[in-house]
Amino acid sequence: MKLFRRLILRPLRRDLMRTLLTLIAIALGVAVVIAIDLAGDAAAGSFESSMTTLVGRVDYEITANAGVDETVLAKLSGLPVDARFAAVIEQPVVVEGPTSSHTSTVLYGIDVIATGTGLSSGQESGDLETSAVVSSELAERFHWKKGDSITLRGREQSADFQIQAIAPNQNTGWIGIDIGAAQKLLDFYGKVQRIEVFVGPGEDGAQVEKLIRATVPPSWEIETPGARSEENRRMLRAFRWNLRILSYISLLVGAFLIYNSIAVSVVRRRTEIGILRALGTSSRGVLLIFLGEATMLGVVGSLLGILLGRGLAAGIVGMISDTVNALFTTSTPGALALSPLSVAAALLTGTTVAFFSALIPAREAARIAPAEAMRRAVVEHQARLHTGRDLLIAFTLALASYGLCQVGPIEGRPIAGYAATLLAVAAAAMIAPAFVSSLIGALRGFLKRFLGPEGLVAGRSLVASLSRTSVVVTALATAVAMMVAVGVMVGSFRETVQVWLNAQLSADIYMRAQGQARAGIFAPLASPVQGLVERTPGVDSIDVLRALEIHYEGLRATLAGARTDILQRSNTFRFLKGDAREIMASLPGRDRAIVTEPFTEKHHVGVGDVLKIPLGSGVAALTVAGVYYDYSNDRGMILVDESTLLKYLPGQPVNDIAVYVKQGFDRVKVRRDIDDRLRDYPVLIAPNEFLRAEAVKVFDRTFAVTYALEGVAILVAMLGAANSLLALVLDRRREIGLIRYLGAARGQVRRMILTEAGLLGFLAGSLGLALGMALSLVLIYVINKQSFGWTIQFHPPFALLGSALLLVWIFTILAGVYPAQFAAGLEPAEVVHEE
């Protein structure tokens, strides 16, 4: 214990600044990993929470594409089992505000009698029709109290309800009313979203399930609510994996730092090691000292990181759940739950990373022969270079990385792509020493001429401590590369999406029902709307979209019907292959469909394949006529002609209307006109520019988390740069003193260290840019393609990248300010004679 204190704690205290910087770096790395995991978990959400609150524990859910036929309820109730069956409607609904401010939320229509919910308790059945339960979130948002009256608006009419109860601890908005009232309000008869099954105590669940299966059509699905959340998780898997991998990069950068920090410690304590060895410490003992130091840093850093991560998670859960809802699936963010397990995992991860990062320098320390350490080694920095060997390894790694890029996804995950990324980083790390020495060599004349003696000494000392410099450069370059790669990917994606949007949004005015703009929820427009719009003067033609969420091979997708003749005229779609005109012309009146690129990637179907989709009472067999580019969401979409959809689902309501304005009419005037006509309906009307801007906004918000992650990785790298520069200064105290004896002013010493910082930044920037460009290709063509199925055109955002790199460079120089100040403050008379 005493030894531990003297040999591990004391040096850590002595180098307080280094210790602190390293701790912060580990803490940040761990924090990011924790935060992404926690926030991702929470955003993936608790999919059953609101239903459980309303009706209690559900055992099974019966669902079908395009809704469940209500008549089956009677058959189910006749089954000889102890189970209750309750129909549920889940639809968007508009709550009328005091003025014309409407809010949309989710309406649950539930069978009050069958479920025995709190709605009916103590109430007379006459009140049932007008009773409502609201979630606490909604109640708080609008200051509703028990007994208040609210007005809900359906497709055709409105109705008043009295709040009978407020469901506590809800973090989303919803309203529950009796199913009869809901059907009346929404004009939604005959079909329900699902049937909840409650199995009686003592009854065999499997038996119940078997009987239900025998009763309902074979295409219907019977799942446990858990299976539903499981499916959501599966949909989010790729997304979360990518975020997670990004979050590991900070940890990776942190690992370089720990390596560096321990290497510094080894160099600084060389003499001490020699003495310890001479006094009889075994080389194992020396190894343990340094591993102990790293482990200490790892444990303390991870603990800090866990606390920090919990806070960070709260900050980003909103951003992540926005993305989830916009692109993947409707979900309710659950509570952030920091389980003991994840705490333990984080602690283990941080400590393990610290331990293994320290292994190489610690082993080096253990190999120091007692005599060698005691000798005054003038050339202790002289790196043993194995340039040829290193470059060969780098080449092999790069080749392997390229090879991995050719491998397809494994279980829908681009595992090989991730591995390729890692190998590419490793290759860059192997190149780093040769890169640093040759680039500084090339800059030699320049440095001396333009930066004078500061430049000369700065360049030389970086090369002199090459092994250390290379590690810092690699760490910083990894962070920069990640920034560049993600920047190029996102920039390319953004450009691609914008080009796509311009083609996609070819109509002049768009409208949809007020309601949640979330993946998988399609609010119906009131039935008179279409006619009113069509009859507005100046309207040339309209396209109507009817969309619904379906299950296809266990994954959710969107099935939609549209007027393909109009879409073809406006040249809306771009197909991967084939002639757009021919493909579109083949759709009307036939069981043919076009599908999005993500859909084909997920289900491995191509042109000519037949999709069998249970719809209503039958099964639609749709032949894939073409695959088109689409970036609206990840779930995949099947588009058929209006006539085809209505053939299978007569009466399917309209969700979106796109209006083409006649030549010669003022679009703004036409829009005002439509606005006027639809004043009484909860419809969102937007011109095409607005939608484009909105789409780009959603896009940018989606990548906000990514940028935040990059920021942290860069920050960690900056800490690393500061730490290493400080180490370089501490290491070269005597040299700095000597230079002062030779007539260097404090300012010159300061400039020298800042020049080193600038050089480090420049080296890391150029290596990082090269690596990042390579990684961006992996991201775009391998990882993104395999995860989400989108084809992204390569469009590097040069201006943005340039300024980001410049910023990083400036920050690196700023990271040198403290070390430079420290160096300038050294008393030469003291340090030169110090030993």
Partner 1 sequence: MFSTSVLPIHILDATKTYPGGVEALRGVSLECAAGSVTALVGRSGCGKTTLLNLCGAMDFPTTGEVRVSGQDTSKLDDAGLTHLRRNKIGFVFQFFQLLPSLTALENVELPLLLAGAKNTEAKARERLGWVGLDDKCESLPYQLSGGQMQRVAIARAMVHDPAILVADEPTGNLDTASGDVVLKLIRRAADELGAAVVFATHSAEAAAIADIRVRMRDGRMESA
Which residues in this chain contact partner 1 in the complex, by CB under 8 A?
Answer: 376, 378-379, 381-382, 448, 452-453, 456-457, 460-461, 463-464, 734-735, 738-746, 748, 828-829, 832-833, 835
Nearest CB to partner 1, comparing residues 453 and 578 = 453
Residue 535 or 833: which CB sits closer to partner 1?
A: 833
Residue 458 CB, nearest approach to partner 1 (Å): 10
DSSP state string for 516-564: ---TT--PPPPHHHHHHHHTSTTEEEEEEEEEEEEEETTEEEEEEEE-H
264/425 with CB nearer partner 1: 264
CB of 485 to partner 1, least distance (A): 34
**Pairing assessment for the beta strands 60-69 and 221-223 based on DSSP bridges:** antiparallel
**Token pair for residue 109?**
């229509």
The residue among 464 and 808 lying less far from partner 1, judged by its C-beta, is 464
Taking alpha carbons only, the member of 660, 662, 620, 661 closest to residue 641 is 620
* Residue 284, φ and ψ in degrees, nearest 5: -60, -40
Closest approach of Cβ 368 to partner 1, in Å? 18
Shorter beta-carbon distance to partner 1: residue 116 or 453? 453
Give 738: exposed, middle or buried? Use CB within 10 Å, 0-12, 13-18, 19+: middle
Give 64 or 729: the residue with its C-beta nearer to partner 1: 729
- Phi first, then psi, for residue 318 (nearest 5°) are -60, -45
In sequence order, what are the residues at sequence separation of 6 or more whose Cβ sits closer than 8 angstroms to the Cβ of residue 768? 476, 477, 478, 479, 480, 481, 483, 484
Closest-CA residue to 793 (of 807, 809, 808, 781): 781
The encoded tokens of residue 131 equal 């009773």
Q: Do 662 and 539 touch, CB atoms closer than 8 A?
A: yes
Rounded to whole angstroms, the Cα distance separating 746 from 422 reads 43
* Minimum distance from residue 461 beta carbon to partner 1 (Å): 5
- C-beta closer to partner 1: residue 40 or 828: 828
> Which C-beta is closer to partner 1: that of 394 or that of 753?
753
The minimum distance between CB 499 and partner 1, in angstroms, equals 52
DSSP type of residue 113: H
CB of 379 to partner 1, least distance (A): 4
Half-sphere exposure of 577 (CA within 13 A, CB side): 6
User: In 10 A of CB 342, how many CB atoms?
Assistant: 18
Cβ closer to partner 1: 96 or 735?
Answer: 735
What are the structure tokens assigned to 105, written together? 């939320």
Q: Cβ-count burial of 2 within 10 angstroms (0-12 exposed, 13-18 middle, 19+ buried)?
A: exposed
Cβ at position 815, least distance to partner 1 in Å: 22
- CB of 428: closest distance to partner 1 in angstroms? 25
DSSP element (H, E) containing 513: strand 509-513
DSSP class of residue 6 equals I
Contact status, residue 726 vs residue 756, Cβ threshold 8 Å: no
For β-strands 131-135 and 158-167, DSSP reports them as: parallel
Q: Which is nearer to partner 1, 150 or 458 (CB)?
A: 458
At its nearest, how many Å lie between partner 1 and the CB of residue 732? 9
Q: Report the nearest approach of partner 1 to the CB of residue 828 (Å).
A: 6
Residue type, 170: Q
Pick 677 or 734: Cβ nearer partner 1: 734
Q: In the bound complex, what is the minimum distance in angstroms from residue 337's beta carbon to partner 1?
A: 54
Q: How far is the CB of 453 from partner 1 (least distance, A)?
A: 4
Token pair 């210790």: residue: 19
Six token digits for residue 712: 């942290």
Cβ proximity to partner 1: between 438 and 793 the closer is 438
